[in-house]
Every structure is written in structure tokens, then in C-alpha cells.
Amino acid sequence: MRDGALHIDGYPDAVKLIRLAGKKAKQLAHYAAHRFDLRNAKLYLDNMKSDNPEAVNDALWRSAITTYIKCFTGGSARSTKLQPEPIYGNDAVKMMAFWHFKHLRNKHLEHDENAYGQAIPCAAINGGGKPFKVEGVFANTLQFGIFDVGNYGNLQLLISEADQWIEAAFDQLADVLTAELEQESLEDLLGREAVSITVPTVGQVGIRRPDDA
């Protein structure tokens, strides 16, 4: 904040930051959110190091997958979700890798549905000679590894190409909005609503934000 208004570095001649509205502006916001997620996913991969504790690398790997796939699942407040086909084209290997990570996210990391996580109820039975037969009842909990070097390289490539695609799509849409705004008078532009930011409260954690926010 500067002089009671939101200030963005990089535009020294700007006198006001106005809020954009409408379908194209909403799509631009969704593209920006996807770009933010993709770059965070890449950052998680970049921070996986051989000298990290195993739990740290596991958390970074899981975070990279879920953050990347989030861009392709959409949501009620981010209705413009990415589609893999325009990004990866007809490359069967890339599409197979994409679906591998989407299934990992949907069926294992976010929901416990596939065989990568198992909990097997067991009873240990003795061979006799005791007044009881059951030594104990427990569950054998198994989590199978989902990381390997090949998958790391695949995810890195998928994220990079998605980031390049979203950057180009964002720039193209920003150019369209710029051309439309240039058609308006300076007086009308300066009369538009100024951008403001409201910091969320704890009570909003379970509330969906507006689709244009």
C-alpha cells in the first residue's frame, strides 16, 4: 500500500490500478492462478535434494504432483481448467505420463482408492500349547513408493510445457484486453473501480470465494 492505494512495482507512470471485470478478465485471473501453481510445482521439484530427509522429499514430491494436477481439475472458483490435449498434442508418451500423475493424484494422494496404499487386517495365530490361539490382532499398513527418477523427469517436462503454454495464453489474452481498454477514454478508465485487497479471515476458510476473485 502506498498513500492508501495498492501500488504495483514496474509501472512508474501509472496513476491508478483499476479492477477488470467480465468473462475475459475472469479467464485471465484463472490463467494467472494456473501459472502460479505450475511455478510452485516446479519449485517443489527443484527443492528435492539427495541430502534432504526422506520425509521432506516425499512431501515435496507429493506437493508437486497435486499442485500440477490441480490446474487440470478446475473447481467452482476456478472454472477455466487446463486441458492436456492442447498442451501436449498428439504425443502419446506425454499423454500417458500426464494420466499417470492424474491417477496418482486422484486415486492415491487425494483419495485412498488404488493399491498403492493398503491396510490389511491380520490375526497372528500360534501353533497351540497355549491357553489361547490368537497372539494378536493388527492391521498391516503398506504404502508403496511412487517416486523414481524417470517419473521425476517426466513431471518436470510436463510442468515446463504447461507453464510455457499458459504463459503464451495469458499474454495473448492480456493483449486482447489491452486493445479493448485502449478504445476507452482516459476519463472513463480512471473512473473505474480501483483494485483493493481484502485479507481473508479464519472464518472464511470453508467459504468459496467469488468466481471473479
Dist CA 84 CA 100 (whole Å): 13
Whole-angstrom Cα distance, residue 212 to residue 25?
Answer: 8
* Angle at the Cα of 170 from the Cα atoms of 199 and 66, rounded to 5 degrees: 65
Q: By percentage, how much of the chain surpasses pLDDT 90?
A: 65
DSSP string, 106-124: IIIISS--STTEEEEEEEE
Q: Which pLDDT tens digit goes with each residue over 142-153?
A: 888 788 888 999
Residue 213 confidence (pLDDT) = 46
Beta bridge partners of residue 138, listed in sequence order: 122
Q: Give dist(CA 109, CA 65) in Å, integer.
A: 9
Stretch 171-183: mean pLDDT:
97
Kindly report the pTM of this predicted structure.
Answer: 0.84
Angle at 32 between CA 30 and CA 34, to 5 degrees: 70
Inform me whether the pLDDT recorded for 86 exceeds 90: yes
In tens, the pLDDT along 32-68 reads 999 999 999 999 999 999 999 999 999 999 999 999 9
Q: How far apart are CA 207 and CA 204, in angstroms?
A: 5
What H or E segment, with its residue span, contains residue 180?
helix 149-182
Sign of the C-alpha dihedral computed for residues 71, 72, 73 and 77 taken in this order:
positive
Question: What is d(CA 101, CA 207) in angstroms, rounded to the nearest whole number?
Answer: 28
Q: Supply the pLDDT for residue 189.
A: 92
Of residues 22 and 2, more confidently modeled: 22
Looking at every residue in the chain, the average pLDDT score rounds to: 89
Q: CA-CA distance, 211 to 198, in Å (whole number)? A: 15
Residues 81, 71 contacting (CB under 8 angstroms): yes
Spatial separation of the C-alpha atoms in residues 40 and 9, rounded to whole Å? 22
Q: Please say if the pLDDT value at position 182 is more than 70.
A: yes
